[in-house]
């Protein structure tokens, strides 16, 4: 693999903190990582990467953020996912993680292989939850 790629949307920084945890895990495995906010990301980045983590908090009513993340995810659905490894992550508050289960199902139906089930963390990742982010980063690049 070249660099692992993390693309995320985060309104108040909780999913961004998860992205930073995932990056820490990737670096702990001696791999390089590029973290990009979705507004600076493009489809070609995803096409070229082999190990990708996508993050977005639960928004609307159990959906992805609709102005930036949803259109971006739509734009990458038709990529050839067969030789890529994917991790999904995001923060939520009052729900039960439905948005993450739906997102995982959606990416799997595009042919993507997830290295672990999508990681949903309640609000800001701390302690054990932050460890789970780090582990997800490790799992992504050792898959
Ligand atoms: C407009 C809006 C809609 C939200 N919708 C949901 C939701 O459907 N389910 C849920 O569990 N949390 C929902 N939340 C809570 C956020 O997912 C939660 O605050 C999360 O930690 C934000 O992470 P972020 O800072 O990375 O954006 C919503 C928050 C906002 C502002």
**Spatial distance between the Cα atoms of 141 and 125, rounded to a whole number of angstroms:** 21
Three-state DSSP state, 96:
coil
Cα dist from 97 to 14, 24, 62, whole Å: 15, 24, 8
* Tens-digit pLDDT profile for residues 69-85: 999 999 999 999 999 99
Atom number in ligand 1 closest to CA 124: 21
Distance 84 CA to ligand 1 centre (A): 28
pLDDT at 143: 83
**Spatial distance between the Cα atoms of 74 and 55, rounded to a whole number of angstroms:** 14
Atom number in ligand 1 closest to CA 17: 26
CATH number of the domain that 91 lies in?
Answer: 3.40.50.360
> Measuring from atom 20 of ligand 1, which residue has the nearest CA?
92
CB of residue 71 inside a 6 A radius of ligand 1 = no
CB of residue 38 inside a 6 A radius of ligand 1 = no
For the chain, the domain total comes to 1
* Tens-digit pLDDT profile for residues 27-58: 999 999 999 999 999 999 999 999 999 999 99
Q: Which of 50, 110, 44 is closest to 83 using CA atoms? A: 50
pLDDT at 80: 97
Bridge partners (DSSP) listed for residue 81: none
Q: Mean pLDDT throughout 99-108?
A: 98
CB of residue 104 inside a 6 A radius of ligand 1 = no
Q: Which domain holds residue 60?
A: 4-142
Distance 18 CA to ligand 1 centre (A): 14
């Amino acid at each position: 693999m070249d660099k692992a790629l993390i693309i995320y949307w985060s309104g108040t920084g909780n999913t961004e903190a998860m992205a930073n945890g995932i990056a820490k895990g990737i670096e702990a495995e001696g791999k390089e990582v590029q973290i990009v906010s979705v507004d600076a990301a493009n489809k070609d980045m995803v096409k070229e990467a082999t190990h990708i983590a996508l993050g977005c908090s639960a928004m609307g009513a159990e959906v992805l953020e609709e102005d930036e993340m949803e259109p971006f995810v739509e734009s990458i659905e038709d990529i050839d996912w067969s030789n890529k490894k994917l991790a999904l992550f995001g923060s939520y508050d009052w729900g039960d993680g439905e948005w993450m289960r739906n997102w995982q199902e959606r990416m799997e139906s595009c042919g993507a292989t997830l290295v672990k089930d999508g990681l949903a963390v309640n609000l800001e990742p701390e302690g054990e939850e932050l460890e789970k982010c780090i582990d997800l980063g490790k799992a992504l690049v050792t898959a």
